[in-house]
Structure 1
């Protein structure tokens, strides 16, 4: 049995068996290959996710970038994030199509999600994950029921768009030749979608440093650092969310527990039992520590860089969100990014295991198929649960609009949120303005 998992992974890019010697060119000539599976799954997945989410409606933070009153506040942070780009896109779509259907807005989030899936697949393939496993892992990420909040919530277009742009920069840095204008443009744009771009760009910086040197990478990412720092100092500093801080030994222990819950609970979101996430979290930690010295400069560089990026993400989130309680550590939005960060490392471990023979390979595939099945069912269940909650909010908002149309001058109705619990940013005055502009349908 080979003792070096990095060398073993690089050497074993095909499933064990009679076709293990088929070369990349021969595989490319066949109609059915891993790339066909991947691209086909993206097309079918887009249609399937939109169909599953067909009953979703505007909810929560959607209104924070849709109400006309806030159109001029695109530079102001929202819950600590710079959401300028998604705000502009949503406002343009609102002005063009109105708010009669949620589907166009949901499609943006789904497209951003599929962009993350595709870029993750490219990183998996580049890192040396067995091609068929890379495509199956892409499907598992695409149908991640544990992250349904991201997939079926249009507002998360910003969250996932930032991740996609950051991963794109990472992929560009992982090439022998740099595409400098595109790297500059994407890295500048990514933080304007969400702060989730920062840890992903940190991972991209590691790849750039390994492939092209620290100086060149630093110069390419310097405009992004300056842009984000200026925004923070000039606009966001006064609106920054208060952090709990870590000032005691007990605080250090609490931070460690929160970080551990982000990893274990985050990975567990994609498994039938959440606590099982501790197992891949531990194996990934052992894999990264024991193989990083000989693996960092290999084709698997991006996998190690993303593990490093996950540390940045977990550290920043722990510091800024620890005061929300340990139950928030494994929330769906955090779990989504933890899984994206660690997926290449997990793929390399599964590739090493699958290369042990036919039975281990079959066990890995069967396990992934079961996980995909579980997540698909979970995705449908969660979509329905979200739709029921949003239908209640929609009913209250339409009832409020009906009252506003009967009493348009009532100051209490105009100053009160139409749904204080689930859509606090939508005041009665906003609802009336949207209706009068023709952007909101009749009740």
Structure 2
């Protein structure tokens, strides 16, 4: 049976989506659970307080849907099959891409143009954080529900459609806070096509549901984000949108030009058409979204609106404007189809190729943040379940604070961990995380005979003072009962530590120390050397016993 010609763009789109999904999974297989994944895996047990676990905000997000998905998969697979979790955002992204194609086609964008623009979204390296981080099923889930609601709104048929749109919108709101911009897009598009009354009918009831959740649970959220300055909101919003499209092309400085061009196209091209309504409502929502981000995130600094996870929406909402431009170009070249096809392919290729490269770059960068985390977590679980004394609770305070010794002690968590090779270095790194810490009071451990290496020291009472240099360390040898030493680091409140056992040295682990205040640096791992890095140019004071050779070297 021969496929009708009008079906070719849809089939092509599905093939592109399948190829893109395979590509994303090949990248994701190099990664493991990261960051907020662990909040849903280890801190959202539905057994004791199920309602609170389901309804409490994650940061400020209503996350009931992703929590349910995570808990269901965890109960079946544990942590043994990461690709099952990694497939979540990939599958959701695939659905979002097909929905974008259908929405654009329903609004009158030429099917081949729509297929090409969808390919840009499929390989959106600018939004790779959402595509390769399983936790981002929340953000991409809002796009799926929101685009499905847009598709139904574009073909409004009656009350049943309204109920389905309400259901999709509420599910979107229950997935992440990026649902609010998607609901704004739905309202703006419906307003442009069907008027204010219908827009309010679709948008207000879901927002009432969200308001009820916020009053009962959502207002408990404490993000700890400093307030943004009003003067910074517009520049930060503009920067976020511009950076998105700059990343999409790979050319520095073109982002502002592209954004201005797309906004202008959405305002001026093909008025009184569904194509223009989709493009204009999407462009307006993109601007509103980044203004919201700048206002709510601006206190985090100049890069607060630039993360890849936001770029996904900056691209998605402006892609219909790009489709409108390309549709107009296609119409102008309708008598020269070869030239039109070449021009379309060239323009889209300039966006797809950087997207593929950007996705690989993101995967490599993410992998370097937490190397060997799987093996270190397994080693930390073994250590947490032993009888050895621990001084800290976090396995990876910087990127995975929810991986704690308290959680890893649980039988259910230990059983959920995958099998895998664990090296001596992995075990030593786990010890550096859990058996080394600094505190303002004594740990009750034996006083160490410490050594400062890599820089000179001078006596100061019963202490020694010096200035950190490149490669300088304080070495604290640990006996069977551990050891401790007193340390003051000026001009910084943190450093890094390593453990050395013969020829094996652990990875560096961050350690918080008091800025200019004395702390006791303790280690309970037996028979190892603790290496405390002394940052270059930072004054330090070591109190207690230095080894005899060093005391002789610094004696006046």
TM-score normalised by L of structure 1: 0.85
User: Aligned partners of 1:100, 1:388: CA distance in 2, in Å?
Assistant: 21
Matched residue, 1:278: 256
Shift of residue 426 of structure 1? 1.8
Shift of residue 296 of structure 1? 5.1
> Relative to 1, partners in 2 of residues 1:147 and 1:234: Cα closer, same or farther, differing over 3 Å?
same
Q: Report if the CA contact (8 A) 2:165-2:202 is conserved.
A: yes
User: Aligned partners of 1:220, 1:442: CA distance in 2, in Å?
Assistant: 49
Aligned partner (choices 251, 274, 295) of residue 298 of structure 1: 274
RMSD over equivalenced CA pairs, Å: 2.4
2:131 equivalent to 1:151: yes
Q: Report if the CA contact (8 A) 2:263-2:321 is conserved.
A: no
> Relative to 1, partners in 2 of residues 1:46 and 1:206: Cα closer, same or farther, differing over 3 Å?
same
2:306 equivalent to 1:340: no
Q: Report if the CA contact (8 A) 1:85-1:192 is conserved.
A: yes
Aligned partner (choices 178, 201, 206) of residue 196 of structure 1: 178
Matched residue, 2:61: 81
Gaps of 5+ in 1: 1-26
Matches for 1:62-211 after TM superposition, within 5 Å: 62-68=37-43, 71=46, 72=49, 73-178=53-158, 179-211=161-193
Matched residue, 1:351: 327
Matched residue, 1:368: 348
Stretch deviating more after TM superposition (348-357 or 68-77): 68-77
- How big is each residue's C-alpha offset from its partner over 1:362-405, in whole Å with a ceiling of 9 and x where there is no partner? 23321312331222133223223323434333233222123123
1:311 aligned counterpart, secondary structure: helix
> Relative to 1, partners in 2 of residues 1:238 and 1:31: Cα closer, same or farther, differing over 3 Å?
closer
User: Aligned partners of 2:237, 2:192: CA distance in 1, in Å?
Assistant: 27
Shift of residue 116 of structure 1? 1.6
User: Aligned partners of 1:239, 1:442: CA distance in 2, in Å?
Assistant: 36
1:376 aligned counterpart, secondary structure: helix
Shift of residue 69 of structure 1? 5.5
User: Aligned partners of 1:341, 1:52: CA distance in 2, in Å?
Assistant: 25
Q: Report if the CA contact (8 A) 2:104-2:320 is conserved.
A: yes
Q: Report if the CA contact (8 A) 2:127-2:309 is conserved.
A: yes
Matched residue, 1:12: none
Shift of residue 70 of structure 1? 5.2
Stretch deviating more after TM superposition (186-195 or 265-274): 265-274
User: Aligned partners of 1:400, 1:246: CA distance in 2, in Å?
Assistant: 39
1:391 aligned counterpart, secondary structure: coil
1:49 aligned counterpart, secondary structure: helix
> Relative to 1, partners in 2 of residues 1:428 and 1:174: Cα closer, same or farther, differing over 3 Å?
same
Q: Which has more helix, going by share of residues? A: 1
Matched residue, 1:3: none
User: Aligned partners of 2:273, 2:330: CA distance in 1, in Å?
Assistant: 23
1:406 aligned counterpart, secondary structure: coil
Aligned partner (choices 403, 413, 421) of residue 426 of structure 1: 403
Shift of residue 344 of structure 1? 0.3
- How big is each residue's C-alpha offset from its partner over 1:322-355, in whole Å with a ceiling of 9 and x where there is no partner? 1111223221011110000000011111222344
> Relative to 1, partners in 2 of residues 1:295 and 1:79: Cα closer, same or farther, differing over 3 Å?
farther
1:441 aligned counterpart, secondary structure: coil
Structure with bigger gyration radius = 2
User: Aligned partners of 1:391, 1:245: CA distance in 2, in Å?
Assistant: 34
Q: Report if the CA contact (8 A) 1:161-1:193 is conserved.
A: yes
Matched residue, 1:255: 233
Q: Which has more strand, going by share of residues? A: 2
1:426 aligned counterpart, secondary structure: strand
Matched residue, 2:17: 42
> Relative to 1, partners in 2 of residues 1:241 and 1:134: Cα closer, same or farther, differing over 3 Å?
same
Shift of residue 437 of structure 1? 6.0
> Relative to 1, partners in 2 of residues 1:221 and 1:400: Cα closer, same or farther, differing over 3 Å?
same
User: Aligned partners of 1:157, 1:69: CA distance in 2, in Å?
Assistant: 16
User: Aligned partners of 2:379, 2:415: CA distance in 1, in Å?
Assistant: 17
User: Aligned partners of 1:283, 1:205: CA distance in 2, in Å?
Assistant: 24
Aligned residues: 408
User: Aligned partners of 1:95, 1:218: CA distance in 2, in Å?
Assistant: 41
Gaps of 5+ in 2: 421-556
- How big is each residue's C-alpha offset from its partner over 1:20-40, in whole Å with a ceiling of 9 and x where there is no partner? xxxxxxx96139821111011
Matched residue, 1:439: 416
1:74 aligned counterpart, secondary structure: helix
2:167 aligned counterpart, secondary structure: helix
Aligned partner (choices 26, 32, 36) of residue 57 of structure 1: 32
